[in-house]
Every structure is written in structure tokens, then in C-alpha cells.
């Protein structure tokens, strides 16, 4: 393959959840700081075509890209760290690979041949490995292989990585293996055996890792590093320590201290005179760690038992909070536990209230109570997607006195469908990839909280929903004080609602959290936190 693009593969061993995505994003950041253009892609071993149909409880948030792909939440980390957008091509699942191969088989593209895992599935995987590097836009493509080495389901990916070494040739291909060095309390020792085993498994599959990144709670003494190098067949200076960090945003700097970027560059024969100091990044970290004030914000949703379900929202608060030097104490509260009798005790400590995105009826009435409390008590309120829809329904019920107003998602026969299925959704019978997805433009009214946040009237934000504000109710709503301050200029779909007679009450049909990055905190989050600070002062 004639290409100057360098390919780095990151595999994981010993256990899952070691933070491959963060290591990938951190390495990407460091290479970016050296002047290279970098993209990161994730290959997931499960059979769903994409994570769009997965329950957030199982897999955390579904991250949506500009081009409307429903992807793994690690893509969120890539965008937040690198400040560049990703796309459908950055997240591939086994399901998609098989789907592509089977579609080709039906078209007759393999006519006469027995279609097999090797070479057909592995060829399809490799074709997708190389896709982003093909047009020469990127100097480096980092590929994170989901799951753990040794899992049955990731075998074809590992085999494809083995083959890729020969396609790409020396100095264009590198494998980093992320592993865990556990500390045994009783023996007071860091143990290397699980890593030795996991590297053996890689070797059995024909892959020699070039660099080991070792997650650890304690510094790795030299003798442990030497043992790892010796038994795992890697150079001593390629045993990289990855200590547990206070925040994920420390990891790029920790990896720089450990010279991960230098090791990668030397092995890939990448040279660069540039070595920026990540000043902006350090500035962000300084503010994040030294806040001058704090606020309590409640995130009310139904997936709170797994905070990863709200990953991008949580990170957007981190970025926006740091930008204004405010520590955001985010309290995740289950909407199922809020009712007409207890809402006050559940919500009274909060300086600001966010009602989260979501699907389905469970916990819905708790969200209505929450919005009513925020509206009546003039608590800064931010509704995202379903959160915005709830705000509209609450207003219809309690201000317009349209009893039983609802979304047709919750009650298909409601007498007042203030939120209803979008026209283009009416004939859709498949669940996967069929929502209104990806980036759409929105035109803001000048006199609005949204305009004062963004500072411009044309914005682009990402979407993931089927239902919408029902424009039949717009006049009634607006004359009672809930105003549509943002609309899609082509379709007239309401994208933002605000309540005039309230310090800060904003509901958005889109997901502003997806576009928040370390270097570009999301403006609505900043303004919402500022409103919460003001509210705290008044209290």
C-alpha cells in the first residue's frame, strides 16, 4: 500500500475499562501538538450495526457526529481532546463489517467463492482501517480496537491488525497494548503476570506489541519495568507508565512526561521540529483545578445509575465550568424518584436544573414536576432534547391549562399533542439510524438568551430525536410567555424555547453537549452556569 499515512493500533489487555479511548485521544493530542494531522477511529466487536439501538445502561451514551452517525462514546473523547470532528467512518462495528460483506455477497461480488472470515471479513476490516488515511488528509490514523485481547468476538479485528503490518510495511505500523499492572495489597507488590499473559495472547495471534502502556495505581519501579520489557519482548523505554490521574484531562500531559509521543515518533520515523507546549490545554487544566466559585447543578434523568449515559453533558459542564473558573457540583438525580410529594426536598439544594435527553415514559412525570419547580421558583433551567419537550408539555399543562397535554411518544392519543412525531418520521418502520440525526442549522431571534450566549444568529447543532414541537400550538404558547427563539430556517421546526419572564429558562431540541470541547466550551452551558451562579447569590 503506497501511502505516507502512519497507522497506530491500540489494543487492550487484562480487563476492559482501562481507558483506551483516553490514551488514544491523549496520544492524538500530543501528535497534534507536534504538528501532525491526526484522526482516531474505533472498531467495536459487537454485532449491532451501530450503538444507536443500544440501551445507555449497557453501553453509555450514544455519541452523534455532524454527519448523523450514532457512535460509541469514545468518539466524544476524540473530538473533545483533538477539537476536530469525526464521522461515520470513525466508528465501525463487527455488525457493519458483516453487513457490508453479506450485502456484497448478495450482489454477487464474490461469485463462485466461499465467503469466509479470512480473507473476506478481514479484508473488509482492513479496508475500513485504511479508509480515513486514503486521501492523504491525515499524517496519523489511530485505531482503537474495542474489547479485550482474547475475547472471541474481537479475533477477526486482531487478525486484521496482524495482516495490516504486512500491508503497511515497516515504520508505518505500530501496536500499542494498554494493560493493567494490579497492586496486590497483601503482598504489597505490583504484579506483571496478567500483562505477560495478555501479551502472550497477542503473540499467539501473531502480533508483537511495540509499546506497552501500563495502567497502575503506583509508580512502576525500574525492576518491574525491566521484567515487563524482558517477558513481553519490548524495549525498556517502550514500557510506559500510565498512573491513575485526577482527571482524564491530565492524561496527555502525563503521557508527554512519559515520552509516549517520542517513542511513537521514533518507531514510526516521524520527525517534526514543532513541539508546542500545549499552553491552552495547561491553561484549561489550571482553571479546572483552581476554581474561584462553585454551584450545585442537578441533572435529572432516568439513566443516572450509569453516569456514562450522560458523558457528553458531564464533560460539557467540565469545559464550561473551567472557562468561567467555577466548580460545577453535578448531582445526578433519578427522575423516577421525583414526585408531587417530594420534589422540593429533592431539588431545593440546586442552583440550576438540567432535564436530560431520553426516551420513553419511565420517569417522565418526575421530569414534569422538576420543570414546574424550576419554572415557578425561577431556578435556572436547561432542557436538552427530551428535556425541552418536557418543558413544553409542562407549560401546556400548567400555564395553558391544557390538561393531559403530552408528547405522542408517551401518550399516542393525547387530546393535546404539543409534542408530536415529525412528518418525515411517520412512515418509518425501522429503528436503527432513522431518527433526525446530525447537524442542522438554526436561526436565533436577536432578543433571546440563546443569541446572547452564541453571539450570532446562525448556529449549527447536532440532533437525535423523532418528535418535535407541534407548531399548531405556537401562537398560544408564545402569547402565554413561552417563545420559540430558535428555528430551523428550512423546515420551521422549533429548535429552542425560552420563557420570557424567568431569569434563565432555555430548552433546546438539539444536543449542544456533543460539540463542547476543551478548547471550545459550549456557550449555552457557560451561560447556564453563570445563571446558576447568579441564582446562588440571590439565595
Cell numbers describing residue 206: 501473531
Q: Decide whether 174 or 506 has the Cβ nearer to ligand GLN.
A: 506
Q: Decide whether 386 or 531 has the Cβ nearer to ligand GLN.
A: 386
| 305 is annotated as contributing to ligand binding | no
- Check whether the bond before 119 is cis (ω within 30° of 0): yes
Q: At what angle do helices 155-168 and 94-107 cross, to 10 degrees?
A: 80
| 136 is annotated as contributing to ligand binding | no
* Residue 323 binds to ligand GLN (criterion: CB under 6 A): no
Alpha-carbon distance of 60 to 13, in angstroms, equals: 21
Alpha-carbon distance of 31 to 256, in angstroms, equals: 10
* Residue 462 binds to ligand GLN (criterion: CB under 6 A): no
502 included as an active-site residue: no
Give least dist CB 360 to ligand GLN, A.
Answer: 7
| 461 is annotated as contributing to ligand binding | no
* Residue 465 binds to ligand GLN (criterion: CB under 6 A): yes
Alpha-carbon distance of 102 to 256, in angstroms, equals: 43
* Residue 63 binds to ligand GLN (criterion: CB under 6 A): no
Alpha-carbon distance of 329 to 321, in angstroms, equals: 10
Given the residues 241, 385, 468, 530, the one annotated as active site? 385
Question: What distance lies between CA 100 and its chain's CA centroid?
Answer: 25
* Residue 359 binds to ligand GLN (criterion: CB under 6 A): yes
* Residue 386 binds to ligand GLN (criterion: CB under 6 A): yes
462: helix, coil or strand?
strand
End-to-end C-alpha distance for the chain, whole angstroms: 65
CB 350 within 8 A of CB 298: yes
Give 503: exposed, middle or buried? Use CB within 10 Å, 0-12, 13-18, 19+: middle
Q: Residue 70's closest CA among 462, 393, 448?
A: 462
* Residue 68 binds to ligand GLN (criterion: CB under 6 A): no
Question: What distance lies between CA 296 and its chain's CA centroid?
Answer: 23
| 35 is annotated as contributing to ligand binding | no
Q: Decide whether 146 or 358 has the Cβ nearer to ligand GLN.
A: 358
Which range touches ligand GLN (CB under 6 A), out of 51-59, 121-129, 366-374, 460-468?
A: 460-468
Alpha-carbon distance of 406 to 410, in angstroms, equals: 7
| 241 is annotated as contributing to ligand binding | no
177 included as an active-site residue: no
Q: Decide whether 256 or 466 has the Cβ nearer to ligand GLN.
A: 466
Question: What distance lies between CA 351 and its chain's CA centroid?
Answer: 26
442 included as an active-site residue: no
Give least dist CB 78 to ligand GLN, A.
Answer: 21
Residues in contact with ligand GLN, counted by CB under 6 A, come to a total of: 10
* Residue 343 binds to ligand GLN (criterion: CB under 6 A): no
Q: Which listed residue (20, 80, 466, 526) binds ligand GLN by CB under 6 A?
A: 466
Give least dist CB 388 to ligand GLN, A.
Answer: 8
CB contact set of 28 (below 8 Å; sequence gap of 6+): 38, 39, 40, 78, 81, 82, 140, 142
| 135 is annotated as contributing to ligand binding | no
Q: Please provide the DSSP assignment of 165-199 as one string.
A: HHHH-TTSEEEEEEEE--EETTTTEE--HHHHHHH
| 22 is annotated as contributing to ligand binding | yes
Give least dist CB 313 to ligand GLN, A.
Answer: 11
Which range touches ligand GLN (CB under 6 A), out of 19-27, 89-97, 271-279, 459-467?
A: 459-467
| 349 is annotated as contributing to ligand binding | no
Residues of this chain, 420-439, that bind ligand GLN according to CB under 6 A: none
* Residue 357 binds to ligand GLN (criterion: CB under 6 A): yes
Give least dist CB 117 to ligand GLN, A.
Answer: 36
* Residue 367 binds to ligand GLN (criterion: CB under 6 A): no
Q: Residue 142's closest CA among 96, 178, 173?
A: 173
Torsion angles phi and psi, residue 381, rounded to 5: -130, 135
* Residue set of the binding site for CTP: 16, 151-153, 191-196, 227
Chain contacts with ligand GLN (rule: CB under 6 A): 357-359, 385-386, 409, 464-467
Active-site positions read: 385, 511, 513
Binding residues: 16-22, 57, 74, 144, 151-153, 191-196, 227, 245, 358, 386-389, 409, 466
Amino acid at each position: 500500500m503506497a501511502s505516507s499515512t502512519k497507522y497506530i493500533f491500540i489494543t487492550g489487555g487484562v480487563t476492559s475499562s482501562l481507558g483506551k479511548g483516553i490514551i488514544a485521544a491523549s496520544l492524538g493530542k500530543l501528535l497534534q501538538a507536534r504538528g501532525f494531522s491526526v484522526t482516531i477511529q474505533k472498531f467495536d466487536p459487537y454485532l449491532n450495526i451501530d450503538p444507536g439501538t443500544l440501551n445507555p445502561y449497557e453501553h453509555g451514551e450514544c455519541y452523534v457526529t455532524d454527519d448523523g452517525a450514532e457512535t460509541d462514546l469514545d468518539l466524544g473523547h476524540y473530538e473533545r481532546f483533538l477539537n476536530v470532528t469525526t464521522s461515520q467512518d470513525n466508528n465501525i462495528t463487527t455488525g457493519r463489517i458483516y453487513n457490508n460483506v453479506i450485502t456484497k455477497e448478495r450482489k454477487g461480488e464474490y461469485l463462485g467463492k466461499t465467503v469466509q472470515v479470512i480473507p473476506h471479513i478481514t479484508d473488509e476490516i482492513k479496508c475500513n482501517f485504511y479508509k480515513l488515511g486514503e486521501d492523504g488528509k491525515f499524517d496519523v490514523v489511530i485505531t482503537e480496537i474495542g474489547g479485550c485481547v482474547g475475547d472471541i468476538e474481537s479475533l477477526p479485528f486482531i487478525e486484521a491488525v496482524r495482516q495490516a503490518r504486512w500491508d503497511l510495511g515497516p515504520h508505518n505500523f505500530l501496536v500499542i497494548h494498554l494493560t493493567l499492572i494490579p497492586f496486590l495489597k497483601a503482598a504489597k507488590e505490583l504484579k506483571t503476570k496478567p500483562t505477560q499473559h495478555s501479551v502472550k495472547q497477542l503473540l499467539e495471534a501473531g502480533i508483537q506489541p511495540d509499546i506497552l502502556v501500563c495502567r497502575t495505581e503506583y509508580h512502576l519501579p525500574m525492576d518491574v519495568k525491566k521484567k515487563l520489557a524482558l517477558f513481553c519482548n519490548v524495549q525498556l523505554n517502550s514500557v510506559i507508565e500510565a498512573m491513575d490521574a485526577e482527571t482524564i484531562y491530565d492524561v496527555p500531559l502525563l503521557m508527554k512526561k512519559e515520552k509516549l509521543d517520542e517513542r511513537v515518533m521514533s518507531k514510526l520515523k516521524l520527525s517534526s521540529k514543532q513541539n508546542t507546549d500545549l499552553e491552552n490545554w495547561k491553561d484549561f487544566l489550571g482553571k479546572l483545578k483552581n476554581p474561584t466559585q462553585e454551584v450545585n447543578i442537578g441533572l435529572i434523568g432516568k439513566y443516572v445509575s450509569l453516569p456514562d449515559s450522560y458523558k457528553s453533558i458531564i464533560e460539557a459542564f467540565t469545559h464550561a465550568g473551567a472557562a468561567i473558573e467555577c466548580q460545577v457540583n453535578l448531582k445526578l438525580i433519578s427522575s423516577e424518584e421525583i414526585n408531587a410529594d417530594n420534589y422540593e426536598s429533592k431539588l431545593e439544594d440546586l442552583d440550576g436544573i438540567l432535564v436530560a435527553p431520553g426516551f420513553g415514559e419511565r420517569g417522565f412525570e418526575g421530569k414534569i414536576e422538576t420543570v414546574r419547580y424550576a419554572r415557578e421558583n425561577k431556578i435556572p433551567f436547561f432542557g436538552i432534547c427530551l428535556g425541552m419537550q418536557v418543558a413544553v408539555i409542562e407549560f401546556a399543562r400548567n400555564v395553558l391549562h391544557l390538561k393531559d397535554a403530552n408528547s405522542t411518544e408517551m401518550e399516542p392519543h393525547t387530546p393535546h399533542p404539543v409534542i408530536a412525531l415529525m412528518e418525515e418520521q411517520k412512515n418509518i418502520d425501522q429503528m436503527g439510524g432513522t431518527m433526525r440525526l446530525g447537524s442542522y442549522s438554526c436561526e436565533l431571534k436577536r432578543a433571546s438568551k440563546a443569541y446572547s450566549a452564541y453571539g450570532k444568529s446562525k448556529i449549527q447543532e447536532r440532533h437525535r430525536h423523532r418528535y418535535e414541537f407541534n407548531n399548531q400550538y405556537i401562537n398560544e404558547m408564545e402569547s402565554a410567555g413561552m417563545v420559540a427563539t430558535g428555528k430551523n430556517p428550512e423546515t420551521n421546526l422549533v429548535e429552542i424555547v425560552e420563557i420570557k419572564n424567568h431569569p434563565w429558562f432555555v430548552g433546546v431540541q438539539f444536543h449542544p453537549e456533543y460539540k463542547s470541547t476543551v478548547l471550545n466550551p459550549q456557550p449555552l452551558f457557560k451561560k447556564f452556569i453563570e445563571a446558576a451562579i447568579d441564582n446562588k447569590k440571590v439565595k
